[in-house]
Structure 1
Amino acid sequence: MSAEFNNRLEKLEIDLAHATHTIDELNGVVVEQGKQIDRLTRKLLNMTDQVEELIENVLPGHQIEKPPHY
């Protein structure tokens, strides 16, 4: 094999190693963001339930109804 071919092959291997490393880092970020989204979604649901309960306690005759488009 020629030196030029070996240099090109070595460059491709280096580029692939860097790309693989970047993909692994990005995957870690995506996984952490997914966990954070799950935590925030649970908190939002809990807070929504609390607000609805507070409204029911403050205004006992008031019923929370979804708009007709739901």
Structure 2
Amino acid sequence: MANDHEQRLEQLEISLAHATHTIDELNQVVVGQGKQIDRLTRLVGNMTEQVDELMENVLPGHQGEKPPHY
């Protein structure tokens, strides 16, 4: 009976170690994706500003309005 409990405890410890490792790996992925999202958000913001500036230079007073069919 004691041997059965020891085996079950050992299996639980192994499972916990695997789960902890998986959680750590997933956390690294999430952190990396968060950094990438931040970088892409900054790039999109910069590009939006550039497009707005170009539109203002090409068509002064242009508000970037959508055509009536939208």
User: What TM-score comes out, normalization by structure 1 length?
Assistant: 0.87
Q: Percent identity?
A: 74
Q: For residues 14-48 of structure 1, what are the alpha-carbon distances to aligned partners after superposition, in whole Å with 9 as ceiling and x for unaligned?
A: 00000000000000000000000000000000000
> Which residue of structure 2 lines up, in the alignment, with residue 50 of structure 1?
50
Cα RMSD, aligned residues only: 1.5
How many residues end up aligned between the 2 structures?
66
The runs of 5 or more residues in structure 1 that have no matched partner are 66-70
Matched with 2:33 is: 33
Aligned equivalent of 1:68: none
What's the counterpart of residue 11 of structure 1?
A: 11
Q: Structure 1 runs of 4+ off > 6 angstroms?
A: none
Please state whether the residue corresponding to 1:17 is helix, strand or coil.
helix
Counterparts of 1:61 and 1:25, CA distance in 2: 51
Tell me how far apart the structure 1 counterparts of residues 61 and 12 of structure 2 sit (CA, whole Å). Answer: 71
TM-score calculated relative to the size of structure 2: 0.87
Return 5+ residue gaps in structure 2 as ranges: 66-70
